Amino acid sequence: MWDYTEKVMDHFTRPRNVGVMENPDAVGEVGSMACGDALKLMLKIDENETITDAKFQTFGCASAIASASALTEIIKGMKLSEAARISNQDIAKFLGGLPEQKMHCSVLGREALEAAIKNYRTGETIHTDLEGEIVCVCFGVTDREIERVVRENNLESIEQVTNYCKAGGGCGGCHKQIQQIIDRVRGEAKATSRRRPAGRLTTIQKIALIQEIIDSEIRPGLKQDQGDIELIDVEGSKVVVALRGHCASCPVSGVTLRDYVQAKLREFVSEDLVVEEEKQA
């Protein structure tokens, strides 16, 4: 038995806004009964683009029913522009949380809302799960959806991706592609977060950032060659380090300091930094 919150059980046993809506202004249909989850979301929208009513029909588990019920309660009374910013995490949070293995139900709700808004704006009824190239054949999940759930939910493993969108939960033949998507998205996020800070750093901030970059960007590369590095001192723009392991006796250690260590610190900390090796007594 899943560890459901009281609010999830409430929306499962007493779902709000279930049923068919006559002459809806927008309809979003996502998922597939063949894959185990399907959701149809119907909206009434007034002349000010306010969602005045919402109904749903779903085929799925307790989490799917609760997520759809919660979504309709969240968006009623909202402007379309506000509703467009609703994330799957917002739906899960409204319910007091969902088991991670059931987070794909909140994603299904977000997809249905986006499909309905798209239908209202353009008249198109293309399912969101058909956009992009199919990666998981078993559940019909595309590369775009995998990339999106990884990015929005900060996912790190194939198991988490399966929990959020079912991809990889069948034969396992797509695991390699899923891992490649995870690695690419997380690499992009890491690069973005590592951009050189704007403005002047205090001495303490500079030392802390230099140490962080050494630990995360420089040391892993040196350790691949059985080397290591230690931060000794920071004096203004001068960074004094000591090479350890195989790097300490390497005949091209000067190149390593200039073209790798110094280049990384200039990229992520400050472009005026000069790296020097600790002078041996």
Tell me the domain boundaries of the chain. Answer: 1-126, 131-193, 203-277
Which of 35, 165, 174, 247 is an active site residue? 35
Radius of gyration from C-alpha coordinates of the chain: 25
CATH topology of domain 1-126: Sufe protein. Chain: A (3.90.1010)
**24: buried, middle or exposed (CB in 10 Å: 19+, 13-18, 0-12)?**
buried
Q: Which two tokens stand for residue 248?
A: 């300490």
pTM of the predicted model as reported, rounded to 2 decimal places? 0.60
Told to judge if 35 belongs to the known catalytic residues of this protein, a careful annotator would answer yes
Q: Where are the alpha helices (DSSP H) in the chain?
A: 6-13, 62-75, 80-83, 88-94, 103-122, 143-153, 158-165, 175-193, 203-213, 219-223, 253-256, 263-268
Distance CA 110, CA 18 (A): 17
pLDDT at 129: 42
- pLDDT higher than threshold 70 for residue 169: yes
Please count the other Cβ atoms lying within 10 Å of the Cβ belonging to residue 195. Answer: 9
Distance CA 210, CA 206 (A): 6
pLDDT at 249: 83
Same fold, 131-193 and 203-277: no
pLDDT at 162: 92
Q: Which residue has the higher pLDDT, 32 or 234?
A: 234
Q: For the packed helices 175-193 and 158-165, what is the interaxial angle rounded to 10 degrees?
A: 100
Express each pLDDT in 95-125 by its tens digit: 999 988 899 999 999 999 999 999 998 887 7
- pLDDT higher than threshold 60 for residue 139: yes
Band (128; pLDDT cuts 50, 70, 90): very low
Non-local CB neighbours of 31 within 8 Å, separated by 6+ positions: 37, 38, 39, 59, 60, 108, 111, 112, 129
The CATH classification of domain 203-277, taken from the options 3.40.50.1370, 3.30.300.130, 3.40.50.300, 3.30.530.20:
3.30.300.130
Told to judge if 105 belongs to the known catalytic residues of this protein, a careful annotator would answer yes
Q: Which two tokens stand for residue 20?
A: 């068919």
Q: Which residue has the tokens 């230690």?
A: 230
Average pLDDT rounded to a whole number, residues 58-62: 87
Superfamily of domain 131-193: BFD-like [2Fe-2S]-binding domain (1.10.10.1100)
pLDDT at 30: 87
Q: Taking a C-beta distance cutoff of 8 angstroms, is the pair 144, 66 a contact?
A: no
Band (133; pLDDT cuts 50, 70, 90): confident
Express each pLDDT in 62-92 by its tens digit: 899 999 999 999 999 999 989 988 999 999 9
Express each pLDDT in 180-199 by its tens digit: 999 988 887 766 666 667 77
**To the nearest whole percent, how much of the chain has pLDDT over 90?**
49
Lowest-confidence segment of 49-53, 56-60, 201-205, 224-228 by average pLDDT: 224-228
Lowest-confidence segment of 136-140, 190-194, 200-204, 209-213 by average pLDDT: 190-194
Q: Taking a C-beta distance cutoff of 8 angstroms, is the pair 151, 185 a contact?
A: yes
Average pLDDT rounded to a whole number, residues 35-57: 91
Which of 105, 136, 174, 247 is an active site residue? 105
pLDDT at 112: 92
Q: Taking a C-beta distance cutoff of 8 angstroms, is the pair 238, 276 a contact?
A: yes
Cα angle for residues 69, 74, 77 (degrees, 5° grid) = 120
* DSSP class of 201: P
